[in-house]
Each structure stands twice: as structure tokens, then as C-alpha cells.
Amino acid sequence: MAALDPLRFLILTAARTGEVIGATWGEIEFASKIWTIAANRMKAGREHRVPLSARAIEILSEAAKLRESDDANAYLFPSSRRGQPLSNMAFKQLPARMGETGFVPHGFRSSFRDWCGECTPFPREVAEAALAHTVGNSVEQAYRRGDALEKRREMMAAWDAFILIQ
């Protein structure tokens, strides 16, 4: 697994660092290309489904070749300490090791949101759903129960095509 793979996965999924660090193989559905994050791991306390783009699946396929266990609770991106996830510091230190100082991993979520709003026709609600943000007043939230998964799948494929990750 390349050192950049967890960061690439974070960028391609517009996920939070903690969500990627804690991601396990049991959360990944390769057949449907969905990453399902349990409510207890989400900031808003609600389950979140992430449609996985072609490159996100490629990263996971490469990581799967290095799996040391078939345990569903095994981390996608384990630390060198057996049974432990990458540390938050691994993400924070990566830009510095690359000689980059002008960004932090969480900033890619903001970049994703700016791209959605300024460069695409995707509706605001779909972009916010991709970021697992709660939108609308309590009445709208009560009636809007879907997660726009297929619309978000289209958006994440477009994001994948837009991002130039090598």
C-alpha cells in the first residue's frame, strides 16, 4: 500500500479524517461500491453511505492485497502497530513529509464543496449529503429521509474525474 493511499481515499470520498482512519473492511460493499459508516462513527450520529468511485475502489483493491486478516473489523489502512488504525498524526504529517505546507487533509472537504457549488450543476442538497451534513429546518429533515445515493454516485464519479491524483 502506498503511503498516499489513505489520503487519496479521503480526497476521493470527501470523508473526514477520523472516518477514514476508523474504516474497516466490514464497512465496504465491493459489489455495490458502497462504504457504509455506522452512526456511532459519524459526527451527526447518523449512518452515512458513501458511493465509491472507480479510483476509490482501485485503492481498496490494492489495500486488500495486503490484508493480514479476514476479520471484518480489520482496518482498511492499518498502522504498523498490529490491530491499530493509522493515527490522526499520520494524516497531519503526510503533507510535511511531501514538502507541502499549504494544506491540511480536512481542507479537501472544503475544496470538494467549492467544486460542487462553483463547477457543477449538482444541487446543494446533494453536495451537503455527500459531506454528511444536516441541511434544512426540522420539518424538511422530517420529510427528507432519503440520502440521494444515486445522485451522489454521479457526483462522486465526476469528482473522481476532476481530481488529478497520481
16 is catalytic: yes
Query: Which residue among the candidates 48, 49, 55, 109 is catalytic per the annotation?
Result: 109
8 is catalytic: no
Q: Any residues with CB less than 8 A from the CB of 103 and at least 6 apart, and which? A: 95
143 is catalytic: yes
Query: Which residue among the candidates 43, 46, 92, 124 is catalytic per the annotation?
Result: 43
113 is catalytic: no
Query: Which residue among the candidates 16, 49, 55, 152 is catalytic per the annotation?
Result: 16
Query: Which residue among the candidates 46, 92, 106, 124 is catalytic per the annotation?
Result: 106
Burial 78-115 (b: 16+ CB within 10 A, else e): beeeeeebbeeebbeebbeeeeeeeeebeebbeebbeb
33 is catalytic: no
43 is catalytic: yes
Query: Which residue among the candidates 46, 92, 133, 144 is catalytic per the annotation?
Result: 133
Give the active site residues. 16, 43, 106, 109, 133, 143
